[in-house]
């Protein structure tokens, strides 16, 4: 079995709901199992035993949630130092209030998470525009939920975004299966 780690932080449950959809997506792929964890509970072994990682964060002040970054600094940095994750595959998603209707800072938030995975030597999985429902929550870096409306009222995450996130996780699982046992970075 190929294991995929789904990590998330969540304030009001929307990012968590996206993470749960991702776990369902992984489980639906034959030969893959999901490990769904709040970032505060992720340890090194969760990372090293997984063939792929999907990380989701609330968007706060134009970048990722501090709890996600704490996990990166305290868990991933050592894996980077010891070259433990090279050649695995990574994907990200985000959820924010989206005030302004222009992404609300989701792009830099997702890039900061992808930066960590690039440092770890992991292939980065994009979200192609042809995926169903892309028009209702897609960004090329990954699915983007929007939990707030134009009055900053929390309206939860749409079913379209849930679908997109599940699909993104299916792609991640499939990619991990394809890459398994390949040894791209020999030196």
Residue 93: exposed, middle, or buried by beta-carbon count in 10 A (0-12, 13-18, 19+)? buried
Which CB sits closer to a copy of itself, 22 or 76?
76
Q: Which of 28, 48, 49, 135 binds a copy of itself (CB under 8 A)?
A: 135
User: Which residue is listed with tokens 């169903």?
Assistant: 132
Using the contact rule CB under 8 A, the part of the chain among 13-21, 30-38, 46-54, 63-71 near a copy of itself is 63-71
Q: For residues 82-121, which are near a copy of itself according to CB under 8 A?
A: 83, 86-87, 89, 98-108, 111-112, 115-121
Examine residue 128 and tell whether it contacts a copy of itself (CB under 8 A).
yes
CA 27 – CA 33 distance, rounded (Å): 5
Is 49 near a copy of itself (CB under 8 A)? Answer: no
Q: Exactly one of 144, 157, 162, 169 binds a copy of itself (CB under 8 A); which one?
A: 144
**Contact flag: residue 64 with a copy of itself (CB under 8 A):** yes
CA distance 22 to 36: 9
Those residues whose C-beta lies under 8 Å from the C-beta of residue 38, and which sit 6 or more positions away, are 7, 8, 9, 10, 16
Neighbour-count burial of 153, counting CB atoms closer than 10 A to its CB (0-12 exposed, 13-18 middle, 19+ buried): exposed
Instruction: Name which position in 146, 153, 156, 159 contacts a copy of itself (CB under 8 A).
Output: 146
Does residue 40 bind a copy of itself (CB under 8 A)? Answer: no
């Amino acid at each position: 079995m190929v294991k995929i780690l789904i990590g998330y932080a969540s304030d009001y449950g929307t990012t968590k709901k996206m993470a749960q959809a991702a776990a369902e997506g992984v489980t639906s792929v034959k030969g893959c199992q999901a490990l769904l964890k709040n970032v505060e509970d992720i340890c090194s072994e969760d990372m090293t035993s997984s063939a792929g990682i999907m990380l989701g964060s609330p968007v706060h002040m134009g970048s990722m949630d501090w709890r996600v970054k704490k996990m990166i600094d305290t868990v991933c940095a050592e894996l980077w130092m010891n070259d433990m994750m090279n050649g695995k595959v990574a994907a990200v998603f985000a959820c924010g209030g989206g005030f302004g209707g222009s992404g609300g800072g989701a792009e830099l938030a997702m890039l900061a998470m992808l930066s960590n995975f690039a440092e770890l030597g992991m292939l980065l999985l994009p979200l192609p525009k042809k995926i169903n429902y892309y028009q209702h929550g897609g960004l090329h870096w990954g699915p983007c939920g929007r939990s707030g409306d134009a009055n900053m009222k929390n309206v939860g995450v749409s079913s379209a975004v849930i679908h997109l996130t599940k699909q993104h996780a299916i792609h991640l699982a499939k990619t991990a299966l394809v890459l398994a046992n390949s040894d791209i970075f020999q030196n």
